[in-house]
Each structure stands twice: as C-alpha cells, then as structure tokens.
Structure 1
Amino acid sequence: MTHQTGLFRRVTRSVVGVAAAIATLAATQPASTAHAVAADITIDFGTALRSVPRGTFSADITGYGYHHYITNDPQHRAMLTGLYGFARMQLVYTVPGDPTSAIVAGGGSADTTVAGDDWVSSIRALGAEPMLIVPENPVDAANLVRHFNRGATKVTRWVVGNEPDPRMSAAAYSAKFNAVYDAMKAVDPTISVGGPAASNPNMGYLRTFLAGSGSRTDFVDFHKYGAGEHAACDTALLAATPEWAADATAVRALIQELVPSRAARIGIQVGETNSDWGVHPDPPGCDNTGTEAVQYRNAAIWWAASVFGHLAEAGAWGFAFGDKNGALSLLYDEPNVNGAGLNERMPVYQGLGFFTGQQGTSLAHFGSTLVKSSTTLDGVEVFASSGPKVVVVVNKSTTPRQAVISVGAGVTTVKGHQKDGQTVSYAKPATLGTLPVVGGTVTLTIPGPSVTQLVLS
C-alpha cells in the first residue's frame, strides 16, 4: 500500500490443526460414564510448542483522544493497566536536530501539548514496557536514546521510522536504518533496534531490508490490517486471519535465508494491526450482522481473537492499533458513538482481552507457553497455554457447537468466560462460572460466532 498509515494519521484508514485425538474415559469410572467419547477439541498440556512472551500481546499509544489519554485520564489508564507487554509510540523533537526542544508525540494531528517523558512514565504506570519510534535521523534518534536512557530506568526497544515514504526504496531505507542504528547503539549498545515498520508485509521490500540491514536489526517490524482500499465481507475477513501467522512465518524464512548466523536473535512483530485501516461502509452483498464499520461490530471481536492467537502460534508479537484513534481504537475516544460511553471497550479490546484479560472482569492472561491443541470443528480455532493453563476457543462460523473438550488428567476446575453476538460489542463478556469436569473432559456450548476463554486448574 502506498498510503500513510498508523501513527501518521488521525483517522483516514484505519490450531494449527492436527487430526483430533480420541478421548477414552478411564475404566475405573462408574459404568454410566465408562465409554469412549470422541473429543471435538483436544488440549495436550504435556506438549509445549513455544514460549509466549508478554510482548506477544501489545498495543500502540497514539497521542490522539481528544485530551483523554493515559497521561491524564484515570479511567483510560484503568482500562489498559496490566494487560499489555509493550506499548509502542512515536516521539519526536518539536525542532528536528535540536535536543533542547520539547519531545512530543509524533504523527499527524497528534497532541503536542503532552511531554514525552509523561508519555513514557504513563506507559510504565500501565505495567507495560515502552517501545519508542524514532525519526529516520541519526542525530535525533541518538539524542532520544541519550535522553531516555540517561538514568537507571531505560527504554530497551526502539523502532526506526514508521511506514517509510513509499517513494523511498527499501535499499534507501536500509541505508538510513544502518546509520540510525549505529548512532543509537553508540549511545547505548544494550538496546534493541528494529525496522522497517513497513505499511504492509511486502516480502520483496522486507527481503531488501534484510539483505542490507540483517547484520544489524534486532527485530523486523511490519504492519498488517484486515481490510484495504474498501470494506470486506465479514466472512472474508475472518477467513483471512491465518495470514498473520503465514506472514510472520515467511519473514522468519527470509531471516534464516539471509542472516542465518543471527536468525535466532531477530524477532518479528506486527507493529500495527486492526480489522480495517479506514472507515468503510458495510459492503453490498454481504451477510454481515450490523451495518457499522467493522471496527465497531462484534465481528471484529472474533477477528482480533483469531489474529492474536495465530500470532502467538507463529512466535510473533502483535500491536493493536491503537489506544485511541476513532474507529481504530482499543477504547472509544468520544462518548455517544454507537451508544457507547467514553473509554468504553471497542471490539479489538474485547478480542485481544481474551488473551490479556480485561478491566472489570476475571478473564486471565494467556500463559507463558503455547501447548499443542487441535479441533475437528469447522470454523473453530483453539489456542492453549500452560503457566497458567488457559484455553481460547474462537468460533468464526455462524453455526453453534456443542463441543467435548479433552483437557487430560489432573484438571479438576474449569472456569469460563464467553462473548457471543447476542449483546452489543462493548458489553462485558459473560461469566460461565465453573464447568463440570467428567473423565478429563468438559462439555461446552460454543455459540456461532463467539470467543470463549477457559481457565483450568
């Protein structure tokens, strides 16, 4: 895409399955239950697939929000506190090249009355680590590192630029990146620096970047949105969610091909993601539920849960764009939009919240290790973790299911939460209470569509 996205605009755009296992009830059970039961969903907590760092579930801070920000709005802060591993934000000098000038939020129309230090301290107050985007300018970038890392508390992760000018080639960006990277590392060699924060996962562009900067970059950042130049039907948006894992896997393959000696040390992150980068009317010919832009509808809940589950599978980090930016928000930035109040939860907040938890609920944070899971149900995806044991089930279809979930021996307590399409998008998920465990299985009603979280102990 050739348009500007992400932090450069106000609002102009916005498992892995294996064959399902058969669960056989133990012979020691009472005769009434001692029979073979086919599991629709199987969780194997004994097979760890990969670690899931807290950065897997992260967010962008925008500097938009009609003067209601994490820096000054207690409700805004409360809605985000404790949820995200990193919070990514662009900061710039008001006078480029002058380190004595004020540091403020970057991006077109961002509020420049809030000091950069206030943004960083407020991100930390959320329990998140700040990730700062710096200009493609070695002097300013080095000075920003010098400013924020002069004390004991440092900003550890940095991004060079945001969605480079489409008129600039990948090779030209790579040359700029190398100069900025070297200048920043000269100030603090312990930091991680990445790029190119490309507006989309253009593999040719990323290949050229890695060819020129793979010896330096500590991670690869690209952006990916659900819809593009126009709205898409919900069925198409939901069917495409595995692409987030596929793109991350393709970038990993490029890294291994071009810089094999450093491959294990180069991370991958989708620095911006949302269901659409613009505000598009409901397209004709779709069997969508509701006519608002997709970001405001329940469909975006299932979309977000699926995308972040696939990113966890692929070992990539995801950043929901953004905390406030009209339709592209975690929280409503104005009251009385679609009946919601200021700071009420947007669908992307809800979907991501089934992995991070949500303010005002007892939803758990996804665990630190992804474990093997599978399902035989069409349109259903399952993501599971240990440390703690959390299972997220996404039904992207309109067909309700009565699922038998095999959770294995040793699980005695299962507590659940669920969000379906029967309530407004900003309503809190329903509590399912404690579900009975019989012979290592749990029977669960999965509305179509919906997302469900189970916490096992």
Structure 2
Amino acid sequence: MQFANPRRAALGVALIAATALVAPPAQGAFAAPPGSARAAATPVSVSVNARAGLATVPATALGVNDAIWDTTLGTDAVADLLGDAGVKMIRYPGGSYADIYHWETHTAPGGYVAPNTDFDTFMASARRTGAEPMIIANYGTGSAGEAAAWVRYANVTKGYQARYWTIGNENYGNGHYGSAWEADDHTDLSPTQYANEVVAYADAMKAVDPTIKVGAVLTMPANWPDGLVGTGDSATWNRTVLSIAGPHIDFADVHWYPGGGNAAEALGKTQYLDDSIYALRQQINSYGGADAGRLGISLTELNVGVGQNTQPGAIFLADAYAGLIANGVFTVQWWNVHNGIGTPSTVAGQTDYNDFGLLSSGNCTADNSVCEPPLNTPFAPYHALKLLSSFIHPGDQMIRAGTSDPLVTAHAARRPNGDLAVLLINKDPAAARDVALDYSGYTPSSAAPVVLTYGNGDTAIHSGSASTLPPYSLTLLTLKSSSGASPKAPTRLAASAVTDRTATISWSGGPDAAKYEIYRANGAVSEQLGETSGTSFTVHNLQPGRRYTVNVLARDGAGNQSWSSAPLTFTTGAPATSTCTVKFADTNDWGNGYVGQIDITNTGAAPLNGWTLAYTWPTTWQSVSSGWSATWTQTGTGVRVTSDATLAANGGTASVGFVGSYSGPNLFPVAFTLNGTLCSIA
C-alpha cells in the first residue's frame, strides 16, 4: 500500500468512483424495516455439509495492519479495541512505508513517522492485544544485514519471539511493469533480482533465528501484474520468484483490492476467491520446489472497493475473511486500523467517509464540511471482524455451506466441543430474507441456537432471529450437537495415479475406524464415491480435465461417524496416448486478456478431412473475444473450433489463435477433444 500522505491510502491504481446503493437502514433485529420488501415467499434454502470439511482455523487467522504514521499505534485504547475484536495478528510497520523504514533509527526518509510508534512500542501494544506480529523487512531501501539485525534485536536481545517476517511490501510495483509506487533502490527492478535478494535475506535472517518463518511477495491471480512478463524477463513475477526463492521461504504473501463500480459489484468479487487461492496454490506447487506443499499463504492487505466504512465494508470483510480462511490462508489482514477521511458519500442510507480504517481517525475534510465521528469510533467493518471472532476460533474446522439465493452467502465451522456455527450474509440492501437450514453429517440438538446479528446502520452486534435475515446484514447462529463421541478423522490425504478417468486416494486412519467413506464435494452437497476398510480407494468414471475435491470420513464399529478430513483437491488430465495431441499456450497476457495459441496434431493413421476441436473453460468468467485460422464459437463455457481443412495422418498439424478475456482467475483448460476423441496434451 502506498500513501499520498500519512493518513490517506493510494492503491497504486485509481479507485473507481463509488455509485451508492441507497436503501433505508435496518430498524429491527428480527425482521425487515417497515416498508422494506421480502424477496420471495419461499424461504432461502441453506445447506450446511459437515461431510465436506475445509481448512482448520489457525491461531493467526484474524489480522489487521498498523502503521508508523498512525499516532494511536501504541495506545492502550486501540490495543484493547483490537483485542475485543479478536485480532490475533498485526502487521508492522505499514504497507509501502516498510520499504523506506529503518527500524534501528526509527526513520522513514520521505515519509512521516509519528511519535511513539517505534518497534518496542508496537510490540508492547501487540502483546496487550494478544496478537502475534507480522513484520515487513525493508527490501526497497534496506539490506539483508539490516533485516538480520532486526531479527537479532527482536528475538535474541528482546525475546519477542516474532515468528513471521515478509521481505518487502508490493515490490512488483517498483516500476518494472510500468506503474511505480513502491520504493526500490536496486538498479535491477526485475523479479529475478527480488527473488535472489529474498534468498539472501532469508538466509541471513534464519542464520540469526532458524525458527522464524519468512515470506516472499507474490501477486494475487487475476490481479495486476499477474500474467504479465516484463521486459527482459522470461516468466511472470510469481513464477520467477517461486522458482528461485521457493526453497528458501515459508510462505507466499499476497494482497487483494478487488475494487468494484458499485456496492453490489464490489460484494460480488468474493465469488473469485476459491479459484484465486486454487490458482495461487497451483503456482506454488508448480514452481516453488520439491517441497512446495509446505509453503503457506498469507493475505496481508484487504479492503472493499465501495463503502469502506459502511455495511458493504462489513459484509465484504466477513465474506472474504471466511472464504479465505476456509481455503487455508493462515492470516487475513484488513487495511487498516486507522487511515483518515476521503471523499464522503452516502451508501445504503449511511454516511461513508471513504476511510480505509477499521476505526475513525476523527478528522475532517479539507473544507471542514464533513467530519468523522470521534477518534477510535468503530466503523462497520470493525463490528464484522468482532462478529467473526465469535464465529471462528483456532482449531475449528470450516465446512462447506451454500444457499439457493445468490444474494445470501453462508459459511460454517465445526468446533472441537461439537458446536456448529453458521454465518449468514444477506447482500440485498433493501429486502429481508427468510431462511430454512438443512444439515448433512450433523444433527443439532433441540436447544434453540444462539443468534447474533449486525445490520445496516447498527452501532453494535445484537440478538437476532434464526429464521429471518434483515437487509444488508450478518447473522451468526451457534448450535449445540446431539451427537456423542466419534472416531478420529482421517488425515494426510493424497492423490496418486491420477489419469483422465481415475485417481487413487490414500490417507492415514485411526485405530478406532471400522471403515472409511469417501465423498466428493459438489458445491454444498456431498456425493459418496465409495467406502472401504482399507486406507486407499481408487475412484473410477471421472471426467477428464475436471477439478475434484474429496473428503474421507471414518466410522467405528458402532456406526459413529468421524469429523471430515481436510479436503484433497486434484484435477484429472488427458490420456497419456491418443490419436491426437493438443498444446495450449498463453503467448501474451495483459492482465484481463491474452493472445492464446492452440497447436493441434493428428497422430492417428487416417487423415481428418475437416475437424472440430472442443473444450470447456474452467470458469464462467473466461471467454473467446475473437479467433483466427478457424471458426470459433462459444456457448456457455463450451468452445468449438472448426475447420474444413485436412489434418494429414501420422503428424498433420494445425495452429489456431484467439484473443481470450477474463475477469477472474484465468485457469486454462486441460481436456480437449478432436472430432470427439479425447486428445493427449503436448
């Protein structure tokens, strides 16, 4: 994050001006406000599936950013507010300031450093909050030696046990790809230079304290400059950094500011998260070295594009944090604790100060026409974060949940004591929703759930209704289980011998398991693929080029079912041999579109007098804008490429090209048919 001044954030790209959605604020805890509508007479179906386990919630999950230009950084008032919101990780010294900050002298040449914001003050405040630090070492104007000295001071001299350190902030924003906001004194601004320096930093820092975890800066898939290859480079930023630095680091660090032209569009951006984290994990596994599976993912800057201080900010925070944590991100950190007033507007009937902070800075516009509430007044996202701390606790397992209404989102978590928490988000600014919940693999007790709600215009979390979601609201249900003891859940799932049609799943079981059940997650519904008394199972009749997520559950001799295993995701491919081969390549990418090339080879013994190549995009936001050297058509996500030309036998080839566009993660197809025959991949 870069700053135009110490209190105002500039995102490095212009923010799209907000178009406010105006609707009356919620007036009651249990029903829609007077005069507001209900979307439908039929309740929204909510499915909670305990058989489809997701990631386990880490202790560091709920995080925020703090900064040396914030005069309140070390105050007890702020530390206590963050502690009350359940914050467990705080990032320091503050976005792009990290690349000009020198910890020993507590200076940031070219920037403002507030009094009483030095490292020791920050650590005292973090300890009062009950949060771990994540510290950004100065890459832009610092050195590996300076970073190693910081580790020595923190963990050897002071005994702070600061475990998490990242090398720089948004270092791809140093001008190498055109846009420049991140300080970088290196002559070479390439990802290769950054990666080599990360190795030097990590080695020097771990020589002081080998227990620390070091992260490298990557870019979020489908966010600039993902997909771009800079002048003189042979690969993208992520591929280059991972290929060189992967074996030396412990996690990849990304930021996400998805923007949005209006509140509805901004809130819809969370639909990309599953595929974004999947794509990032694929990049890590492909380029991060032989043991890349050990690398974690942190998302250390996050904010919404519209309504930062009002209900869109609260809804986006809750939805994005829950989705990211469910996908295994070990910490999510809001930008920022304080940030300062921007250009005020009205969003859903509430004054939005265009302030990226969780808490009010208490300042006014330049002409004093609009002033924020008093210093440290919580904005709506703060209350959402506080509700999240009631929703998920370290050690909980996130489980799949879904709804029948695109404007209602559900997240769920199962607790070690058997409780189940369900977070329901109504993204409709005008209409309430009645809901009906259904559970798979979980039986709630007859006791009434505890219900907490945070609605549009509310100043605090309050009791709510288990059956009605107010407009623009967050509702948390906590239920008790009627189930007793259960066997140990399977662990260490792995896929092997994955082909176009089959995959073998293996796992580690427990001594109390009589058999195991294998489930495939299909949205919020699980399809049982089979069962076995062993610890491996081969799944047949899979579809080529499709992503599958499976879970394994154990049953003991009495029929008691375990918790779900963590999920295992794999993608089927193409046959090893066929009468055709296809090579798909992205030859020139600019961030939301690219030039693609497909090379087709007929390896069969007979010529093809006219041919049709067919494939399916993995997501709904990918398309062909134009194509050449054949006739291109797209229906839904399916693409057909046809030609009257002849492909000669035993090696006849054709090359076709297209311009592709995408608005989310650009996942490439991996299964192609030629005249109905499934091809191998070159």
Q: TM-score, normalised by structure 2?
A: 0.53
The corresponding residue for 2:200 is 179
Matched, 1:418 2:453: yes
Quote how far apart the aligned CAs of 1:260 are.
5.4
Quote how far apart the aligned CAs of 1:39 are.
7.5
Matched, 1:320 2:345: no
Which stretch shifts more, 199-208 or 134-143?
199-208
Quote how far apart the aligned CAs of 1:335 are.
5.8
Matched, 1:309 2:322: yes
**If you compute each CA radius of gyration, which structure gives the higher value, 1 or 2?**
2
State whether residues 369 and 386 of structure 1, in contact with CA within 8 Å, keep that contact through their aligned partners in structure 2: yes
Which amino acid is the alignment partner of residue 428 of structure 1?
A
For 1:94 and 1:322, how far apart are their aligned partners in 2?
Answer: 17
1:173–1:134: structure 2 CA closer, same or farther, 3 Å change rule?
same
- Whose strand fraction is larger, Structure 1's or Structure 2's? 2
For 2:394 and 2:159, how far apart are their aligned partners in 1?
Answer: 30
For 2:335 and 2:123, how far apart are their aligned partners in 1?
Answer: 18
Matched, 1:59 2:72: no
1:255–1:339: structure 2 CA closer, same or farther, 3 Å change rule?
closer
State whether residues 403 and 446 of structure 1, in contact with CA within 8 Å, keep that contact through their aligned partners in structure 2: yes
For 2:110 and 2:2, how far apart are their aligned partners in 1?
Answer: 10
State whether residues 320 and 348 of structure 1, in contact with CA within 8 Å, keep that contact through their aligned partners in structure 2: no
3-state DSSP of counterpart to 1:275: coil
3-state DSSP of counterpart to 1:189: coil
Quote how far apart the aligned CAs of 1:38 are.
8.8
2:307 equivalent among 274, 294, 305:
294
Quote how far apart the aligned CAs of 1:96 are.
8.2
1:178-217 correspondence runs (5 A): 178-196=199-217, 202-203=225-226, 204-217=236-249
Which stretch shifts more, 363-372 or 141-150?
363-372
Which amino acid is the alignment partner of residue 453 of structure 2?
Q
3-state DSSP of counterpart to 2:467: strand
1:6–1:367: structure 2 CA closer, same or farther, 3 Å change rule?
farther
State whether residues 7 and 62 of structure 1, in contact with CA within 8 Å, keep that contact through their aligned partners in structure 2: no
Quote how far apart the aligned CAs of 1:419 are.
2.0
1:203-282 correspondence runs (5 A): 203=226, 204-227=236-259, 232-259=261-288, 261-276=290-305
The corresponding residue for 2:387 is 354
What does the per-residue CA deviation read over 1:1-39, in whole Å, with 9 as the maximum and x for residues that have no partner?
A: xxx53799641325xxxxxxxxxxxxxxxxxxxxxx998
Matched, 1:68 2:72: yes
Which amino acid is the alignment partner of residue 390 of structure 1?
A
1:39-118 correspondence runs (5 A): 40-65=45-70, 67-69=71-73, 71-72=74-75, 74-81=76-83, 83-90=86-93, 101-103=104-106, 108-111=111-114, 113-118=116-121
State whether residues 367 and 389 of structure 1, in contact with CA within 8 Å, keep that contact through their aligned partners in structure 2: no
State whether residues 196 and 244 of structure 2, in contact with CA within 8 Å, keep that contact through their aligned partners in structure 1: yes
- Whose helix fraction is larger, Structure 1's or Structure 2's? 1
Which amino acid is the alignment partner of residue 219 of structure 1?
F
Which stretch shifts more, 195-204 or 396-405?
195-204
1:223–1:117: structure 2 CA closer, same or farther, 3 Å change rule?
same
Quote how far apart the aligned CAs of 1:177 are.
1.0
The corresponding residue for 1:123 is 126
State whether residues 201 and 224 of structure 1, in contact with CA within 8 Å, keep that contact through their aligned partners in structure 2: no
The corresponding residue for 1:430 is 462
1:11 equivalent among 8, 28, 51:
8
How many equivalent residue pairs? 391
Which stretch shifts more, 129-138 or 39-48?
39-48
State whether residues 52 and 370 of structure 1, in contact with CA within 8 Å, keep that contact through their aligned partners in structure 2: yes
The corresponding residue for 2:36 is none
Q: TM-score, normalised by structure 1?
A: 0.77
State whether residues 415 and 454 of structure 1, in contact with CA within 8 Å, keep that contact through their aligned partners in structure 2: yes
For 1:120 and 1:294, how far apart are their aligned partners in 2?
Answer: 31
For 1:330 and 1:125, how far apart are their aligned partners in 2?
Answer: 18
1:299–1:129: structure 2 CA closer, same or farther, 3 Å change rule?
same
For 2:281 and 2:433, how far apart are their aligned partners in 1?
Answer: 35
3-state DSSP of counterpart to 1:294: coil
1:221–1:94: structure 2 CA closer, same or farther, 3 Å change rule?
closer
The corresponding residue for 2:443 is 409
For 2:110 and 2:130, how far apart are their aligned partners in 1?
Answer: 24
1:62–1:197: structure 2 CA closer, same or farther, 3 Å change rule?
farther
Quote how far apart the aligned CAs of 1:169 are.
1.8
1:246–1:350: structure 2 CA closer, same or farther, 3 Å change rule?
farther
State whether residues 414 and 454 of structure 1, in contact with CA within 8 Å, keep that contact through their aligned partners in structure 2: yes
Which amino acid is the alignment partner of residue 128 of structure 1?
A
For 1:364 and 1:135, how far apart are their aligned partners in 2?
Answer: 33
1:331-342 correspondence runs (5 A): 331-334=359-362, 340-342=373-375
For 2:325 and 2:310, how far apart are their aligned partners in 1?
Answer: 24
For 1:184 and 1:149, how far apart are their aligned partners in 2?
Answer: 11
The corresponding residue for 2:137 is 134
1:197–1:111: structure 2 CA closer, same or farther, 3 Å change rule?
farther
For 2:268 and 2:2, how far apart are their aligned partners in 1?
Answer: 23
The corresponding residue for 1:30 is none
State whether residues 105 and 114 of structure 1, in contact with CA within 8 Å, keep that contact through their aligned partners in structure 2: no
Quote how far apart the aligned CAs of 1:248 are.
1.9
1:158 equivalent among 150, 158, 165:
165
3-state DSSP of counterpart to 2:384: helix
Which amino acid is the alignment partner of residue 143 of structure 1?
A
Which has the bigger relative contact order, CA under 8 A and spacing at least 6?
A: 1
Which amino acid is the alignment partner of residue 131 of structure 2?
A
State whether residues 382 and 391 of structure 1, in contact with CA within 8 Å, keep that contact through their aligned partners in structure 2: yes
